[in-house]
Amino acid sequence: MSGPVWLLMVAAAAVGAADWWAVWTERRPLRSFTKPGAMVLLIGATALAEPFDESVRRWMLVGLVLSLAGDVFLLGAEKWFVGGLASFLLGHVAYVVAMQSQFASTTGLVVGLAFVAVAVAVVARRIVGAVAGAGHREMVGPVVAYIAVISAMVVSAFATGAPWAIGGALLFYASDATLAWNRFVEKRRFGPVAVMITYHLAQAGLVAWVITG
């Protein structure tokens, strides 16, 4: 990892940590800088790095930029939630394309499918039920579509056999599950900060995969 890339990764970690503190202390104005700032730095690190595969880098950059757009949408008013959901959904599609190009393990694919099946049965089913039963029926379709796409991303990560990709995907799954649970099922005080910690670690893990292979 070159010096500039290393510096950008360290800076992203620092800005991400500042965002976690801003979430916990409810300093919303600061989050206008820290939340997108961490992603901008990770995008910069990905753009400057020497990737193990140039096509993977291009698709992952598309996903990272769409994630940045999703972050900006989710910082806005409630009416922008669906815009954020759509941005992240498209971002996961880009991640899936990148990961599918690196298919390396049928065993990993099977393990990923088994993991997702359990997660959908135990967690996602409860979330969708809560969305439908809480006066948000118009959200059921988008939420189900999002669950399907992020699940495909997790399975694709397992199929690469790459630890950084798998770790990043699992953390992303945990982050979004926590967000949805906190939003639709049961709100917890630690929920928002848990969402951001797992989210930033997830994106950093995926960037590490691009950089190191």
Report pLDDT digits (tens) over 35-54.
999 999 999 999 999 888 99
Write down the domain spans for the chain.
Answer: 54-212
Q: What is the mean predicted confidence (pLDDT) over 172-197?
A: 92
Q: Which amino acid is at 196?
A: M
Q: What is the mean predicted confidence (pLDDT) over 105-112?
A: 97
Q: What is the mean predicted confidence (pLDDT) over 102-124?
A: 96
Q: What is the mean predicted confidence (pLDDT) over 49-60?
A: 94
Give the CA-trace dihedral at 30, 19, 205, 48, to 10 degrees.
30
Verdict on whether the full-model pTM lies above 0.85: yes
Q: Which amino acid is at 94?
A: A
Q: What is the pLDDT, as a whole number, of residue 1?
A: 60
Q: Which long-range contacts (CB under 8 A, 24 or more apart) does 124-128 make?
A: 124/151, 124/177, 126/181, 126/185, 127/177, 127/180, 127/181, 127/184, 127/185
Q: By mean pLDDT, which of 10-14, 16-20, 131-135 is the weakest? A: 131-135
DSSP alpha helices (H): ranges in the chain? 3-24, 28-48, 54-75, 81-100, 106-119, 125-133, 140-160, 163-180, 191-212
Q: What is the pLDDT, as a whole number, of residue 167?
A: 98
For the chain, give the mean pLDDT.
Answer: 93
Burial of 135 (0-12, 13-18, 19+ CB in 10 A): exposed
Q: What is the pLDDT, as a whole number, of residue 185?
A: 87
Report pLDDT digits (tens) over 149-184.
999 999 999 999 999 999 999 999 999 999 999 988
Cα distance between residue 86 and residue 53, in whole Å: 27
Report whether pLDDT(212) > 90. Answer: no
Judge whether 149 and 96 are in contact, CB under 8 Å. Answer: yes
